Amino acid sequence: MSERLSVGDAAPEFTLPDADGNDVSLESLRGRNVIVYFYPAAMTAGCTKQACDFRDSLDSLQAQGYAVLGISPDQPAKLAKFRERDGVTFPLLSDPDKEVLTAYGAFGEKTMYGKKVTGVIRSTFVVDGDGRIAVAQYNVKATGHVAKLRRDLGLT
């Protein structure tokens, strides 16, 4: 089980390929607030709902100074299909080795359908402009999560 992050911790740095195979780094977004969310698998019902919620809120999030990055263990080719199918307008990043997932505490033991399994823990973080964790949320719900996050951040 990977260790969980807390508010005030330094956000683990990463560089991962996006759906087109281009590297995206957290460091390249320094100075901005970045919402980094981890999801189990592209093209599944819950992950699609969550991605579409972020997509639909992206303009207002960006207007209030937030960038959004979605990270899953999926390969870039699957992320590209997901992006095209659902019109996702923010970077989807590939972490097949689960190194970044583990560094953020978003991979480990969880309960699924009443059984303990090892996998991606649906989690969301807000990294502030100085590279520190401003919000750390684990075991979030796919549906309604973006609205809750907006309320937690005091965004209209």
Largest distance between two CA atoms of the chain: 42
The DSSP letter of residue 28 is G
Give the pair of three-digit tokens for residue 82: 């997901």
52 is an active site residue: no
Which candidate in 19, 24, 36, 47 is catalytic? 47
CB atoms within 10 A of CB 54: 22
CB 7 within 8 A of CB 16: no
Q: Which residues are annotated as catalytic?
A: 47
